[in-house]
Structure 1
Amino acid sequence: MSTADPTPTPPQIVIQQKESLFGRYGKFLIAALVFSILVTISTRLAYNSYLNPSTGPQESYLAGNESAVHKVAVINVTGTISEADTFVMDQIDRVRKDENVVAVVLRINSPGGTVTYSDYLHHKLRQLADGTIRTGKVEGKELPIVVSMGSVCASGGYYLASAVGDTPDSIFAEPATITGSIGVIIPHYDFSGTLEDWNIKDDSIVSHKLKDMGSPTKPMTPEEREIFQTLVDDMLAEFKEKIKDGRPAFKANPEDLDAVATGQVFTAQQAKELGLVDQVDYLDAALARAADLAEKDMKTVRCVQYKKPPAPLDALFGSVKAPQQPAIDLSSLSELATPKAYYLYAWVPGME
């Protein structure tokens, strides 16, 4: 009996899978990479949160010892002083909550602004200087304020400068600074002639003849002018009182203040000779003076300034986009239509 040959085993073809870019552990490496990115982002946000609150002005290093605990805070006042711009007040709030701030430099580059808001900011700065609005461990501690004037520190800008109080050697102006313009203006424009040419009449119904005083559709009457002049004189008197508080020499010799409170502007050197400023020097000199008033020196303080908070994505990636300004600022047009008093060195109120 013959035995049949067994069926030959078919050949096996082994296809070796091609390894991924990261080898057999590629999935684990990708997961680890994603995890590390998330940790990095989280760490960055935590670091930013430690240095800055999530909202409000963001602190940035300016000068001095970058690792120092004690700070000289620079509060910037830029442009027209107006209720519509709360950034100065936001900076004041940031400083009052920071127990490590030992002195303030008020950096002013402003032609002034409304009487009411200039006075309000002056009040808050004096509270900050007196320690009456500080929070934290240093509540009640006084903060010396030094002023550094930029290109323009006029009218309401100078009104804020007087917030230094009677601190000696505390107002600095740069050599090219224009300052002064101590005075008050209530703008009024008489368009009645033009309206008459166009056969347009103001037919407003008012509860009293003085209700529409200051209207640009009619000439100002002598009675209205006297009322407005009284308002201006009273506001100028208050302006002078603030200056006397910040410039004790004028308190002793008020006639010297009367001589410069004419609305005239002065160069930095003229202002120094007239007693309106103490030193003609730059920001770094003001910073050093602030540190000295806090019984520190530039080697033991960190000078910081503040910026408006960026959008969330910008904060994550470290970029800040320039804000888009509208072609026409309707709020500025509204300013023109409202009779209002200004400490302002400008020919059009409410506009920079």
Structure 2
Amino acid sequence: MKKIASILIAPFAFITKYFKACVFLLIVVLILISTKNQEQPNKDANLAKIYLQGPILDSASIYEQIKKINQNPKIKGALLLINSPGGAISASVEISDMIKDLNLKIPVVAYVQGTMASGSYYGGMYATKIYANRGAMIGSIGVIFNGVNLAELMDKIGIKTQTLAMGAYKEIGTPTRKWNPKEEAFLKELLQEEYKMFIDDVADARNLNAKNYQQFAEGKVFSARNAKKLGLIDEIGTLDDAIATLQDLAQVENPIWLEKSKFDAYLEKIINSSTQIILQNFTYKLQ
């Protein structure tokens, strides 16, 4: 009986001992299956979807999506699906440049599912056409630098900082004290430079007059109807309207989509949920 019991228990003991390794192997198998399942439709794809969703912390996801598109010469157009509150300046600029470059090769039609604000507006504004559903929120063209002053709290609980810094502005933005006038002036100059770049790029992408920036910028958020009046988007419509326009521009009658694998989509959903928490403490972003 002991021998039989040991034989029955052995597999469970093995799994318990090598649990992490088993989980890793399972993930690898899922990735391989997912890749295999996507191989055939990807081969014949003539249209692609690009997902700009959630807080923008980096441009890696968009880079990988566009890289796959560029590797497939059969793809004639791309649908950029946007639902993002924006995020980091540098990442938003990188995404903007990538979409602009892709749009020179194939038509890119953007569709605003919910929000195209701040950095996500920057990222998608160079699309050939921008569609938005009638409930979408668009704009928030501006720049912000957030910070906190913990000096009083630190005094109450008896915490004192010790810092050695070389350079008058090395501690700029510190939360341990109030920023001095020189630091505030420097930050304002920096933000003004970034803000002007944002305005000028929007004017270039949407054929607007940068001198009229107070109408379309200043951090204002617009309804789809007002965004269209200002020239920030082209049309108010449905996802099907955006797809129909893309097919027309790309001259594709029977669309075959280059889709993400289910595994990749699920993984990105988890990452986006996690970054929502990170963004709450993110201090330097477009707004």
Scaled to the shorter chain, the TM-score interval is 0.7 to 0.9
Partner deviation per Cα, 1:22-45 (whole Å, 9 max, x = no partner) = xxxxxxxxxxxxxxxxxxxxxx88
CA 1:256–1:199 in structure 2 vs 1: closer, same or farther (change >3 Å)? same
**Does residue 246 of structure 2 align to residue 300 of structure 1?**
no
Equivalent in the alignment of 2:118 = 155
Equivalent in the alignment of 1:285 = 241
Q: % of aligned pairs identical?
A: 26
Counterpart of 2:216, as a letter, is: V
Q: How far did 1:306 drift?
A: 2.2
**Does residue 97 of structure 2 align to residue 123 of structure 1?**
yes
**Does residue 42 of structure 2 align to residue 50 of structure 1?**
no
Q: How far did 1:147 drift?
A: 0.8
Counterpart of 1:154, as a letter, is: A
Q: How far did 1:323 drift?
A: 7.4
Counterpart of 2:82, as a letter, is: I
Equivalent in the alignment of 2:286 = 343
For residues 51 and 186 of structure 1, the distance between their equivalents in structure 2, rounded to whole angstroms, comes to 47
TM-score, normalised by the number of residues in structure 2: 0.78
Equivalent in the alignment of 1:227 = 186
Counterpart of 1:217, as a letter, is: T
For residues 46 and 112 of structure 1, the distance between their equivalents in structure 2, rounded to whole angstroms, comes to 30
Q: How far did 1:118 drift?
A: 0.7
CA 1:235–1:163 in structure 2 vs 1: closer, same or farther (change >3 Å)? same
Decide which of 61, 64, 75 is 2:50's aligned counterpart.
75
Kept in 2, the 8 Å contact 1:180–1:271? The answer is yes
Counterpart of 2:285, as a letter, is: Y
For residues 91 and 128 of structure 1, the distance between their equivalents in structure 2, rounded to whole angstroms, comes to 11
**Does residue 209 of structure 2 align to residue 238 of structure 1?**
no
Equivalent in the alignment of 2:85 = 111
Equivalent in the alignment of 2:212 = 256
Decide which of 52, 64, 87 is 2:61's aligned counterpart.
87
CA 1:327–1:176 in structure 2 vs 1: closer, same or farther (change >3 Å)? closer
For residues 321 and 233 of structure 1, the distance between their equivalents in structure 2, rounded to whole angstroms, comes to 37
Equivalent in the alignment of 1:29 = none
In terms of fraction of residues, the more helix-rich structure is 2
How many residues get paired?
A: 255
CA 1:189–1:309 in structure 2 vs 1: closer, same or farther (change >3 Å)? same
Q: Which has the larger radius of gyration?
A: 1
Q: How far did 1:193 drift?
A: 1.5
CA 1:45–1:217 in structure 2 vs 1: closer, same or farther (change >3 Å)? closer
CA 1:321–1:203 in structure 2 vs 1: closer, same or farther (change >3 Å)? closer
**Does residue 224 of structure 2 align to residue 268 of structure 1?**
yes
Counterpart of 2:48, as a letter, is: A
Decide which of 209, 219, 222 is 2:168's aligned counterpart.
209
Structure 2: runs of 5+ lacking an equivalent: 1-32
Counterpart of 1:295, as a letter, is: Q
CA 1:99–1:260 in structure 2 vs 1: closer, same or farther (change >3 Å)? same
CA 1:322–1:97 in structure 2 vs 1: closer, same or farther (change >3 Å)? closer
CA 1:46–1:148 in structure 2 vs 1: closer, same or farther (change >3 Å)? closer
Q: How far did 1:329 drift?
A: 7.1
Counterpart of 1:187, as a letter, is: N
For residues 250 and 199 of structure 2, the distance between their equivalents in structure 1, rounded to whole angstroms, comes to 28
CA 1:194–1:149 in structure 2 vs 1: closer, same or farther (change >3 Å)? same
For residues 106 and 328 of structure 1, the distance between their equivalents in structure 2, rounded to whole angstroms, comes to 23
For residues 268 and 200 of structure 2, the distance between their equivalents in structure 1, rounded to whole angstroms, comes to 40
Kept in 1, the 8 Å contact 2:84–2:115? The answer is yes
Counterpart of 2:138, as a letter, is: T
Counterpart of 2:254, as a letter, is: T
Kept in 1, the 8 Å contact 2:34–2:263? The answer is no
Counterpart of 2:256, as a letter, is: R
Give the 3-state SS of the residue equivalent to 1:214 in structure 2: coil
Mapping for residues 6-17 of structure 1, pairs under 5 Å: none
Q: How far did 1:104 drift?
A: 1.0
